[in-house]
């Protein structure tokens, strides 16, 4: 378990703070108990996602995911110019089909998808290519009004390779995903919000605070129910409606074996604030 109050730096290109710092804005009222902040930290390269950075990110998220005190994670990019401007093109440029197959470095994306703790991307500036795919692998995206989302891979002779064709299509629909991916055009934050890719858009400077505040709200909810609901929502993209409905009902029923269900409903009846134990 992570010792509350500690800040760990896991690598030179990644920072992990758990608990996360409190929102700095004077108007922020939420607490961030149970919230971790993970920062992609290669601002000179617009936080380009090298294979090693992605491995360290997955390691950090795995550690937080197994910490019962961690109930929501905010992922952001250092520097204000970018969440991440894509995979590290200089690293990708030397690859071949054989080296990509043999290297096994894309399995990291499956690890990211297995994180059960809610993940909120706080996006300022560029979220392009693998950066957009990483934001979409999160559960919610809070975007600054300076954010730009896109899958420009077509312009460098390839196509999205870490979920872009699937997650962007599910988020914004085939018509718009087709246009964005086949032309490499980027969307500004407002268009991304209107298209359904983004949870909310806030003034650029307020992006991290807004994400931390949202994470704090999620972290204050009963953790077993939160994880079950996240899993059910994500399963909606993976299976037919009938299977999704059956899985949802099974999870709903299972939550009636938890202390938090008894506490939540008793607190409602008693007109008091519930105290969640995560049991
Ligand atoms: N990879 C490596 N370095 C990058 C990247 C990148 N994706 N993006 C920016 N940088 C570097 C630049 O090389 C530059 O470094 P230096 O100062 O040493 O020359 C520095 O960041 C600043 O960049 P610019 O000078 O280009 O800044 P501009 O403001 O002029 O332009 C842009 C900003 C428009 C974002 C521009 O940098 C750009 O077009 N970047 C590339 C965007 C892109 O094509 N992304 C997709 C990459 S391919 C991909 O993501 C495939 C995903 C597949 C799965 C992921 C597997 C890991």
Ligand 1 contacts CB of residue 43 (under 6 A)? no
129 Cβ inside 6 Å of ligand 1: yes
Are 181 and 163 spatial neighbours (Cβ–Cβ below 8 Å)? no
Residue 112 makes CB contacts below 8 A (sequence gap 6+) with 54, 57, 58, 61, 134, 137
The whole-number pLDDT of residue 22 equals: 87
Cα dihedral across residues 1, 212, 129, 240: positive or negative: positive
CA of 88 to the centre of ligand 1 (A): 7
| CATH number of the domain located at residue range(s) 6-219 in this protein | 3.90.226.10
Average pLDDT of every residue of the chain = 94
Handedness of CA 218, 62, 90, 178 (dihedral sign): negative
Going by pLDDT thresholds of 50, 70 and 90, the confidence category of residue 4 is: very low
Per-residue pLDDT of 254-273, as tens digits, reads: 999 999 999 999 999 999 99
- CATH superfamily, domain 223-270, is Lyase 2-enoyl-coa Hydratase, Chain  A, domain 2 (1.10.12.10)
Identify the residue whose C-alpha is closest to ligand 1 atom 14: 45
The per-residue pLDDT for range 68-111, each reduced to its tens digit, is: 999 999 999 999 999 999 999 999 999 999 999 999 999 999 99
Any ligand 1 atom below 6 A from CB of 153: yes
pLDDT of 56-66, one tens digit each? Answer: 999 999 999 99
Rounded-to-10 torsion of CA 108, 111, 113, 119: -100
The partner residues of 186 in beta bridges, in order of sequence, read: 150
Residue 46 near ligand 1, beta carbon < 6 Å: yes
Q: Render pLDDT for 152-196 as a digit per residue (tens, 0 to 9).
A: 999 999 999 999 999 999 999 999 999 999 999 999 999 999 999
115 lines ligand 1 (CB under 6 A): no
CB 204 within 8 A of CB 76: no
Which pLDDT belongs to residue 28?
Answer: 54
Domain boundaries, the chain: 6-219, 223-270
The band of 3, judged by pLDDT with boundaries at 50, 70 and 90, is very low
Candidate from 44, 85, 157, 159 with most ligand 1 atoms within 8 A of CB, to mutate: 85
Q: Which residues are catalytic?
A: 87, 130, 133, 153
**pLDDT tens digits, residue range 125-157?**
999 999 999 999 999 999 999 999 999 999 999
> Which pLDDT score, from 0 to 100, does residue 25 have?
73
- Strand-strand pairing, 72-77 and 82-84: unpaired
Pocket test for ligand 1, best of 48, 86, 161 (most atoms within 8 A of CB): 86
Q: Is 31 a residue whose pLDDT tops 80? A: no
pLDDT at 24: 82
| pLDDT score recorded for residue 212 | 97
Asked if the domains 6-219 and 223-270 are classified in one and the same CATH topology, the answer is: no
């Amino acid at each position: 378990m992570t010792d509350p109050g500690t800040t760990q730096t896991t690598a030179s290109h990644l920072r992990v703070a758990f608990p996360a710092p409190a929102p700095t804005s004077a108007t922020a009222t939420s607490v961030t108990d149970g919230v971790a902040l993970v920062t992609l930290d290669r601002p000179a390269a617009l936080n380009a996602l090298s294979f090693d950075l992605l491995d360290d990110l997955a390691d950090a998220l795995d550690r937080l995911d197994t910490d019962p005190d961690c109930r929501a994670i905010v992922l952001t990019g250092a520097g204000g110019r970018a969440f991440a401007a894509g995979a590290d093109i200089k690293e990708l440029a030397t690859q071949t089909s054989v080296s990509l197959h043999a290297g096994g470095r894309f399995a990291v994306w499956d690890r990211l998808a297995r994180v059960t703790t809610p993940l909120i991307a706080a996006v300022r500036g560029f979220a392009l290519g693998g950066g957009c795919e990483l934001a979409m692998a999160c559960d919610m995206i809070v975007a600054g009004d300076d954010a730009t989302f896109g899958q420009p891979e077509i312009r460098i002779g390839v196509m999205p390779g870490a979920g872009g064709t699937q997650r962007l299509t599910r988020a914004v629909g085939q018509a718009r995903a087709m246009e964005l991916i086949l032309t490499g055009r980027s969307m500004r934050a407002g268009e991304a919000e209107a298209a359904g890719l983004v949870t909310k858009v806030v003034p650029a400077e307020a992006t991290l605070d807004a994400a931390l505040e949202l994470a704090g709200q999620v972290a204050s909810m009963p953790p077993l129910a939160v994880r079950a609901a996240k899993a059910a929502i994500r399963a909606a993209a993976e299976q037919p409606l009938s299977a999704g409905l059956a899985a949802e009902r099974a999870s709903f029923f299972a939550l009636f074996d938890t202390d938090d269900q008894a506490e939540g409903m008793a607190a409602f009846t008693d007109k008091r604030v519930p105290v969640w134990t995560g049991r």
